[in-house]
Amino acid sequence: MGKSKVYFIKLNELNKIKNLLPEFASPLGVKVHFGEEGNTTYLPASYVKAVSEMVENPTLIECSVLYKAVRSAASTHKELALKHGFTFAPIDFLDGELGDDTIEVEIGGEHFKKCYLGKGLAKYKSLLIISHFKGHISAGFGGAIKNLSMGLASRRGKLAQHAFVKHQVDPEKCLGCSLCIANCPVEAISLNKEQKAEINQNKCISCSKCISICPTNAIGIPWGEKDVKIFRQRLAEYALAGAKDKQCFYINFLINITKLCDCADEKMKPMTDDIGVLVSSDPIAIDQASYDLVVKQCEDFKEQNGDEQLEHGAKIGLGTREYELISL
């Protein structure tokens, strides 16, 4: 496979995207993230609207989240989406009201033979994946691959991808405040006899809610261990399932680049200035280019390395890490 073309467009020249878009087969699903309640750095609806107006009859598609929040049910998730300005196109939650409507997609991967995605995905022939590129506590970064994989997975599929990611508590940092206990959707956390939080690894679903809620950063993931690498590889395999038999095209917005993802229910300060927009038909190439551009502008983003997403994705045929960056 040769180099994939990745196009760079300035934020004030979004109209140039239209000439790059293919002729999509109908029906077309526009995969987006509506932002968590309390988050202010998700991709603004105005940008998604600008791109959606360039295609015919778009439907905004999404699935519900694994953890307990406004976005864990389709009805309240939709209310939040409308509140955040996504009022310009129909919205379709592919996995039903509680995330349990599922279809099986066979891929024959190293970690998965079958993947479980939102049932409603079956009716879409084309996908336009509009992603906000930013950091992520487990994946390293979140872009096209994660939007395509975790974003299209039903609850069963999300659980499967998270199965090897286990969280740990640093007892020296833990205050015993019980915020993590109150926010755990599966009651996997309790206080031990020293009044420190303790996670039941058998019950933990690795939703990472405890990480985002902890006031002292006492809960984290043991970086460098096999579990995190497997999680990132699993993302790539689910992305392959999401794209299977679909006409797919990708747009990454490199703005509001934060250390944590848009699922964090808090206001966050961007790590660097806005960069622009990338457009490509290759999800691996566009995420590789996104990471490279952010690191070039912000050295600290090297800590968000999600290399296993890219390496495994290229290995299983999702795309190539080799790209030609073309400025328009």
pLDDT digits (tens, 9 = 90+) for 200-221: 988 887 777 787 788 998 987 6
Cα distance from N-terminal residue to C-terminal residue, the chain? 24
Q: What average pLDDT score do residues 302-320 get?
A: 95
| Helices (runs of H) and strands (runs of E) counted in the chain | 9, 16
pLDDT tens digit sequence for 44-55: 999 999 999 999
Compute the distance between CA of residue 221 and CA of residue 219 in angstroms, rounded to an integer: 7
CA distance 55 to 30: 10
225 pLDDT above the threshold of 60: no
Distance, in Å, from the CA atom of 201 to the CA atom of 95, rounded to the nearest integer, reads 27
- Rounded Cα distance, 101 and 271, in Å: 37
pLDDT tens digit sequence for 91-102: 999 999 988 899
Say which residues have a Cβ less than 8 Å from residue 17's Cβ, sequence separation at least 6.
9, 51, 54, 251, 277, 279
121-130, 132-141, 297-306: range with highest mean pLDDT: 121-130
pLDDT band, very low/low/confident/very high, at 265 (cuts 50, 70, 90): confident
Residue 187 falls in which region: left (phi positive, over 0), alpha (psi -120 to 50) or beta: left
User: How many Cβ atoms are within 10 Å of 242's Cβ, its own excluded?
Assistant: 29
Q: What is the pLDDT of residue 40?
A: 93
The alpha-helical segments, DSSP class H, found in 136-280 are 144-149, 155-162, 179-183, 209-213, 226-243
Which domains does the chain carry?
Answer: 4-162+225-327 (3.40.50), 168-220 (3.30.70.20)
Q: What is the pLDDT of residue 95?
A: 96
The amino acid at 125 = K
